[in-house]
Amino acid sequence: MNADQLKKIAAEKAVEWIEDGMTVGLGTGSTAYWAIHRIAERVREGLSIRAVASSIRSEQLARELGIPFVSLNEIDRIDLTIDGADEVDDNLHLIKGGGGALLREKVLAAASDRFIVIVDESKLVGTLGAFPLPVEIVPFAERLTLNRLKELGGDPAIRTNPDGQRYVTDNGNWIADCRFGAIPDPAGLNEQLNQIPAVVENGLFVGMASVVVASLSDGSIEVRRRG
Kindly report the three-state secondary structure assignment for every residue of 100-152.
CCHHHHHHHHHCEEEEEEEEEHHHECCCECCCCEEEEECCCCHHHHHHHHHHC
Q: Please classify residue 95 by burial: count the beta carbons closer than 10 Å to its beta carbon, then call 0-12 exposed, 13-18 middle and 19+ buried.
A: buried
Separation of alpha carbons 149 and 193, rounded Å: 8
Active site residue 16: no
The letter for the amino acid at 124 is L
Provide the residue type at 20 as one letter.
Answer: D
Strand pairing partners for 11? none
Kind of pairing between the strands at 133-137 and 199-202: antiparallel
| Local structure of residue 74 (DSSP, 8 states) | G
Query: Of 12, 59, 87, 105, which residue is the catalytic one?
Result: 105
DSSP E strands, the chain:
23-26, 50-53, 78-84, 87-88, 94-95, 112-120, 133-137, 156-158, 174-178, 199-202, 204-205, 211-215, 221-225
Instruction: Give the active site residues.
Output: 105
